[in-house]
């Protein structure tokens, strides 16, 4: 599967890795429109969800063309590439890898033969029963030959693409309805054949997926409502958990392949989604502002300024400032043009304090008591570097406030958190972590406070990364270890 982060890996120090996002998917059915360009702009709006590779496939009703490469959307496509992608159907994808290597071969959309043509598929999420799907593929004579299943080279997306190529059914719709009940984990699929566009969402609806309508009557599906906005589409509704949509010249049709059991990812509200996106009827911006207000009520401190870690900490910092009455200021400047760099600084450059992504505004922070608001702490390296940077720039006190609870468990549904052993909160008290960061104080929002800010019932959200309560059974190879860790905590 895939995902990535347009906010540049949590606005990290060079070489640091933080929570990576679930990838972005976009599909459009719009006869008479430049669907490749619509897909391009849709992916541009979803760039924060995947920075490793980008791709677009189009169909003119007779054949499917695909163009994909490593890099950002703006780096992969130019006018010539988009002009060559003719047709009235398009599927686009921006990738961050979670299964399979970060290589051109694993860029999406993936292509595969079907009984009557070709399928092109993009995937947002992460599957938890990949081995079962591989076994199913092997059981279907000759189909496993389409993939290299050795050495972990194959993505879960490629396996699903191959399974959609079954010749047991007359249509891709029938094949999908037979296959999807066997697929477990987090998936928002957008796929197409030569004649129709399809969208499917797992029964838990872990990752967002929305349906929109263009002013000209065409249809769009996308990971976030912000991608509908950029192409001028109005939101019709969310794709329901456990639903398959088929879109062709007859319009939009819906089939259900599983009962809905909503468990949307809470981290979409905390960090992953754009602030101008709406998920399950709740504005992400409004949720983050309220998280900041709750944080101020739960962890007040005397200070002169509230500053965010840009950009991800900004809405919560604004909320904290509003609730506390302490002035908000931009104390850290982000290099908006840093992009993805494959040039890693040497140890010497690290020791010189290279600041590729963030730099402090000394005239704002010197002599001040600061409250620094961020969305989460994973390993803690980034926050440690920021605290030191602010002290070096003259801050008298640095109080760190986090708009999510401590991250204590790995994610199997599309966020690339490190192993439990690497998470700084595991096995350490808040005071331990504060000391590691070098902060004067540290405060996390409570789980109830975060949940209340979303205005979504806890029973309809996945909070596994904070609680260890997984709504979908984790992969087989992780279950024993997780059970052991739960027993250790209970003991």
pLDDT score of 354 more than 80: no
CATH code assigned at 233: 3.60.20.10
Distances (CA, A) of 283 to 193, 257, 342, 346: 34, 29, 34, 42
Residue 271 maps to a domain? no
pLDDT for 144: 61
Residue 354 maps to a domain? yes
- Distance from C-alpha of 407 to C-alpha of 303, rounded to nearest angstrom: 26
Q: How many domains does the chain have?
A: 2
Domain boundary among 229, 262, 295: 262
- Distance from C-alpha of 114 to C-alpha of 169, rounded to nearest angstrom: 10
Based on the fold, state whether residues 68 and 213 are members of the same structural domain. Answer: yes
Give the model's confidence band at 447: pLDDT under 50 very low, under 70 low, under 90 confident, else very high.
Answer: very high
Give the model's confidence band at 334: pLDDT under 50 very low, under 70 low, under 90 confident, else very high.
Answer: confident
pLDDT for 86: 96
> pTM to 2 decimals?
0.89
Residue-averaged pLDDT of the chain:
88
> By CB neighbour count within 10 A (0-12 exposed, 13-18 middle, 19+ buried), where does 215 fall?
exposed
Of all residues in the chain, the percent with pLDDT exceeding 70 is 85
Burial letters for 21-58: b for 16+ Cβ neighbours within 10 Å, e otherwise?
bbbbbbbbbbeebbbbbbbbbbbbbbbbbbbbbbbbbb
Residue 268 maps to a domain? no
pLDDT score of 84 more than 70: yes
Based on the fold, state whether residues 429 and 465 are members of the same structural domain. Answer: yes
Q: Are strands 117-127 and 110-114 parallel, antiparallel or unpaired?
A: antiparallel
- Per-residue tokens: 478: 């992780």
pLDDT score of 340 more than 60: no
Q: Bigger pLDDT: 251 or 481?
A: 251
Q: Are strands 234-238 and 243-248 parallel, antiparallel or unpaired?
A: unpaired
Based on the fold, state whether residues 248 and 302 are members of the same structural domain. Answer: no
pLDDT for 352: 52
Based on the fold, state whether residues 286 and 239 are members of the same structural domain. Answer: no
Distances (CA, A) of 476 to 101, 233, 360, 412: 21, 41, 46, 11
Based on the fold, state whether residues 252 and 321 are members of the same structural domain. Answer: no
Instruction: Tell whether the torsion through CA atoms of 189, 472, 133 and 102 is positive or negative.
Output: positive
pLDDT for 272: 93
Residue 464 maps to a domain? yes
- Per-residue tokens: 57: 């496939």
Residue 2 maps to a domain? no
pLDDT for 141: 63
Domain interval for residue 396: 281-490
Domain boundary among 202, 228, 262: 262
Based on the fold, state whether residues 397 and 258 are members of the same structural domain. Answer: no
CATH code assigned at 465: 3.40.50.2020
pLDDT score of 249 more than 80: yes
The DSSP secondary structure of 375-436, one letter per residue, reads S--SSSHHHHHHHHHHHHTT-SEEEEEESSPPP-S--SSS-----GGG-TTTT--HHHHHHH
Residue 270 maps to a domain? no
Domain boundary among 204, 234, 262: 262
Which residues have a Cβ under 8 Å from the Cβ of 336 and sit 6 or more positions away? none
Based on the fold, state whether residues 362 and 288 are members of the same structural domain. Answer: yes
Q: Bigger pLDDT: 160 or 336?
A: 160
- Distance from C-alpha of 101 to C-alpha of 120, rounded to nearest angstrom: 19
Instruction: Tell whether the torsion through CA atoms of 291, 382, 424 and 21 is positive or negative.
Output: positive
Based on the fold, state whether residues 318 and 245 are members of the same structural domain. Answer: no
User: For 17-31, 95-109, 219-233, which range has the lowest pLDDT when averaged over its residues?
Assistant: 95-109
Residues with catalytic function: 23
Residue 153 maps to a domain? yes
């Amino acid at each position: 599967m895939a995902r990535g982060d347009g906010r540049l890996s949590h606005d990290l120090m060079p070489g640091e890795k933080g929570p990576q996002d679930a990838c972005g998917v976009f599909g459009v059915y719009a006869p008479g429109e430049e669907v490749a360009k619509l897909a391009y702009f849709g992916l541009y709006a979803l760039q924060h969800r995947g920075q490793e590779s980008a791709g677009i496939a189009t169909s003119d009703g007779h054949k499917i063309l695909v163009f994909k490469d490593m890099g950002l959307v703006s780096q992969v496509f130019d006018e010539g590439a988009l002009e060559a992608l003719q047709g009235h159907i398009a599927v686009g994808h921006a990738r961050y890898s979670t299964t399979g290597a970060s290589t051109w071969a694993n860029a999406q959309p993936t292509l595969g033969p079907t009984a009557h043509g070709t399928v092109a598929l993009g995937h947002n999420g992460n599957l938890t029963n990949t081995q079962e799907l591989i076994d199913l593929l092997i059981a279907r004579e000759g189909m496993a030959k389409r993939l290299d299943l050795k050495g972990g080279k194959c993505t879960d997306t490629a396996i699903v693409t191959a399974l959609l190529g079954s010749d047991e059914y007359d249509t891709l719709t029938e094949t999908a309805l037979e296959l999807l009940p066997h697929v477990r984990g987090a998936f928002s699929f957008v796929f197409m054949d030569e004649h129709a566009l399809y969208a499917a969402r797992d029964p838990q609806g872990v990752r967002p997926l929305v349906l929109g309508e263009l002013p000209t009557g065409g249809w769009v599906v996308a990971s976030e409502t912000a991608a509908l906005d950029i192409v001028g589409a109005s939101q019709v509704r969310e794709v329901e958990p456990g639903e398959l949509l088929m879109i062709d010249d007859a319009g939009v049709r819906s089939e259900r392949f599983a009962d809905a059991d909503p468990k949307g990812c809470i981290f979409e509200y905390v960090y992953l989604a754009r602030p101008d996106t709406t998920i399950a009827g709740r504005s992400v911006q409004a949720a983050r502002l309220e998280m900041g207000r709750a944080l101020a009520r739960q962890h007040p401190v005397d200070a002169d300024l509230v500053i965010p870690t840009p950009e991800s900490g900004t809405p919560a910092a604004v909320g904290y400032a509003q609730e506390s009455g302490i002035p908000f200021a931009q104390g850290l400047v982000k290099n908006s043009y840093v992009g993805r760099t494959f040039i890693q600084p040497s140890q010497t450059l690290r020791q010189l304090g290279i600041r590729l992504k963030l730099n402090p505004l000394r005239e704002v922070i010197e002599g001040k008591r600061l409250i620094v608001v961020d969305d989460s702490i994973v390993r803690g390296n980034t926050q440690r570097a920021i605290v030191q940077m602010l002290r070096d720039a003259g801050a008298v006190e640095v109080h760190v406030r986090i708009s999510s609870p401590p991250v204590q468990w790995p994610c199997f549904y599309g966020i690339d958190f490190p192993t439990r052993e690497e998470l700084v909160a595991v096995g350490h008290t808040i005071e331990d972590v504060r000391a590691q960061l070098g902060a004067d104080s540290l405060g996390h929002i409570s789980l109830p406070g975060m949940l209340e800010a979303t205005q979504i019932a806890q029973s309809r959200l996945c909070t596994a990364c904070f609680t260890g309560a997984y709504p979908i059974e984790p992969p087989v190879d992780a279950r024993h270890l997780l059970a052991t860790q739960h027993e250790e905590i209970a003991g």
